[in-house]
Amino acid sequence: MDHDGSMSRMLRMCEWVMRLAYTNLLWLMFTMLGLGIFGLMPATTALFSVMRKWIQGHEQVNVSGTFWKVYREEFFRSNMIGVMLFILGTIIYVDLAYIYPTSWFLHVLRFGIYIFGFLFIVSLCYIFPLLAHYDWKKRLYLKFSLLLGISYLQYTLSMLVFSAVLFVLFAYLPGIVPFFSVSLLAYGHMWLAYQVFKKVEFESEQQTAELKKRLPSFLQLKRVNTQ
């Protein structure tokens, strides 16, 4: 029985290794399909969408079909968000590179830029999970990525720690980077973000239920009759 259990776990682990390697290679191919710069955002969004399906328990999902579908649907929207992120990131980088703290005002300004840079990184942690999970207008992704990142800081810090551990691992084992780098990072971030989404949706349902309880009975009946 123990032998059978060990074999089952080993086969399960091998299956996940193949899944992560396959999706990582798909990400590379679809990124190159968009000439790199235009393929990065939609390919990453497609990768997170596949990870979301697996986390939700849909393990038999058509990976290549889902990847291609999301890539096409999110090509323009994800690239527009990518342009906005690129502009913000460039502004932060230029400010940090060329503003030298020679006076107290510049010290305060540089400290403010560091805070803004941290908030930018926090926002980046949730952009792709939100793109994979919700269908919103472009500005809402930037807004809620920051709000969720700050409101659920423990999950955000877990994402940052997870990313740091992976970067150290890849530095010591560079041979696995082409096979597991982005897919492993995406799975970890999507799993953590999905826990946040479930909490937010549960809290929203709880607030809606509480609001309904506070409504007078005749208003609740009217609401039922108008549906």
> What DSSP assignment string belongs to 39-65?
THHHHHHHHHHHHHHHHTT-TT--HHH
Q: Which residue would you say has higher pLDDT here, 120 or 137?
A: 120
State the CB neighbour count (10 A cutoff) for residue 159.
Answer: 23
| pLDDT above 50 for 212 | yes
Q: What is the pLDDT of residues 165-209, one digit of tens each?
A: 999 999 898 888 888 889 999 999 999 999 999 998 888 877 776
| pLDDT above 70 for 215 | no
Given the structure tokens 């999507």, which residue do they identify?
190
| pLDDT above 50 for 50 | yes
CA angle 210, 214, 220 (to 5 degrees): 100
| pLDDT above 80 for 88 | yes
The SS3 assignment for 153 reads helix
Distance CA 219, CA 68 (A): 47
| pLDDT above 50 for 137 | yes
Amino acid at 150: I
Confidence of residue 159 (pLDDT cuts 50, 70, 90): very high
Predicted pLDDT at 222: 40
State the CB neighbour count (10 A cutoff) for residue 24.
Answer: 22
Please compute the mean of the pLDDT values over residues 79-93 and round it to a whole number. 93
Distance CA 94, CA 7 (A): 54
| pLDDT above 70 for 2 | no
Q: What is the pLDDT of residues 6-24, one digit of tens each?
A: 777 788 788 888 989 999 9
The SS3 assignment for 67 reads helix
| pLDDT above 60 for 218 | no
In 3D space, the residue among 21, 42, 23, 45 whose CA is nearest the CA of residue 33 turns out to be: 42
| pLDDT above 70 for 155 | yes
Confidence of residue 36 (pLDDT cuts 50, 70, 90): confident
Please compute the mean of the pLDDT values over residues 59-66 and round it to a whole number. 88
Please compute the mean of the pLDDT values over residues 145-151 and round it to a whole number. 93
Predicted pLDDT at 173: 87
Angstrom CA distances, 212 to 57, 73, 201, stand at: 32, 37, 17
Mean of all residue pLDDT scores within the chain: 86
Confidence of residue 38 (pLDDT cuts 50, 70, 90): very high
Predicted pLDDT at 227: 38
CA angle 49, 50, 53 (to 5 degrees): 90
